[in-house]
Amino acid sequence: MHSFSLLVLGAFGPFVTSAAECTREFLQTSADSLVEAQAAGDPSLLQPVSDALDYNENYSPATFESGILATPLEIDFSRHYLDTTQCATFTELVSATGSVPYVIGVQMYFADDTISKIDTLITTTGDWLFNATGTLYWASQEDWRTIPEDERDSREVIQAGADAYCDIFSDKSVEVPWGYPCARLEGGAYTGNGGPNDKCDVGIPSGVTLTDRRYVVDETIGAVSVFLSFNGIPDSHAFRVEKGKLRFVHTITVMSARSNSAGKMRRKTRGFMP
């Protein structure tokens, strides 16, 4: 009887209540520790990690020891999206000034006050339109400031903007809430020049399906990160939505992970790069 009541307390008691609280401060601290870990090349700085962490790089199971976090990178730019509803984060990392350039996207999912799942997408020289200098240049010019509370879009509106954009690749009849201006940053290439006439409704390929979408939404900056499969290629599409309209689109497309052996080869040789 005694152990039974303990069990009940464990299941419904104050521990569960505290685990259910996911604050911006908590997510910010953890996402900041990811940047510190990556800068130091020391995965142990990333906190708080679950014992049962599900860790993936370019959608393949990976380990901290052989993964990107074990390589110190010059972090020139980073931005977090903090999703307190789902208890998840997205972090965009740009390393342009180190010996090997990288643009990295990381989705982290939390359970019981610890990081339970990490998906990291890693791009470098040779990936689609890759140019970390370009990414750094354009990403740091864009205005992603906090949106005043009374002007914020709902999660549903923000996600709908992303979904419409992702849907139009396979269905040209979809109505996308284009903003004007709007700019796309893809690999390192920019569809605009940072001016008032920038447009996103230029040159979207046909016959491509964007499937298996996983979203991290931050209403405070109108942002949504979507990790997806771009015709089978690991891909990140991230958006800023303002007043229901698309303002910025950032993509990370992992061409080099298309075959497992290529991914393994890169992991193996990373430590030997100049």
Ligand X SMILES: *[C@@H]1O[C@H](CO)[C@@H](O)[C@H](O)[C@H]1NC(C)=O
Give 110's DSSP letter: E
Contact segment (CB under 6 A) with ligand X among 61-69, 82-90, 133-141, 143-151 equals 133-141
Residue 103 Cβ vs ligand X, minimum distance, rounded to whole Å: 12
The total of other beta-carbon atoms located within 10 Å of residue 143's CB is 9
Q: What is the DSSP string of 16-75?
A: HHHHT---HHHHHHHHHHHHHHHHHT-GGGS-SEEEEEEEEETTEE--TTTSGGGS----
Mark 183-222 with x for binding to ligand X (rule: CB under 6 A) and - for no binding.
-----x----------------------------------
Q: How far is the CB of 142 from ligand X (least distance, A)?
A: 13
Q: How far apart are CA 82 and CA 211, in angstroms?
A: 23
Contact indicator for 164, 176 with CB cutoff of 8 Å: yes
Does position 134 interact with ligand X (CB under 6 A)? The reply is yes
Closest approach, Cβ 129 to ligand X, in A, equals 8
Give the residue among 251, 269, 250 at the shortest CA–CA distance from 100.
269
- Comparison of 165 and 190: residue with beta carbon closer to ligand X: 190
Q: Minimum Å distance from CB 141 to ligand X? A: 10
As measured in angstroms, the least distance from the Cβ of 231 to ligand X is 24
Which of residues 193 and 231 has its CB atom nearest to ligand X in the complex? 193
Are residues 84 and 17 in contact, defined by beta-carbon separation less than 8 angstroms? Answer: no
Taking CA atoms, 124 is separated from 42, 92, 130, in Å, by 20, 14, 6
Position of tokens 């201006």?
Answer: 181
In the complex, least distance from residue 137 CB atom to ligand X, rounded to whole angstroms: 4
Is 123 a binder of ligand X (CB under 6 A)? no
# chain residues binding ligand X, by CB under 6 A = 5
Report 63-82 residues binding ligand X (CB under 6 A).
none
As beta bridge partners, residue 118 has 55, 108
- Size of the chain, expressed as the number of residues it contains: 274
Q: With respect to ligand X, which residue has the nearer C-beta, 59 or 130?
A: 130
Of 63, 85, 97, 133, the one binding ligand X (CB under 6 A) is 133
23 binds ligand X (CB under 6 A): no
Question: Would you tell me which residues interact with ligand X (CB under 6 A)?
Answer: 131, 133-134, 137, 188
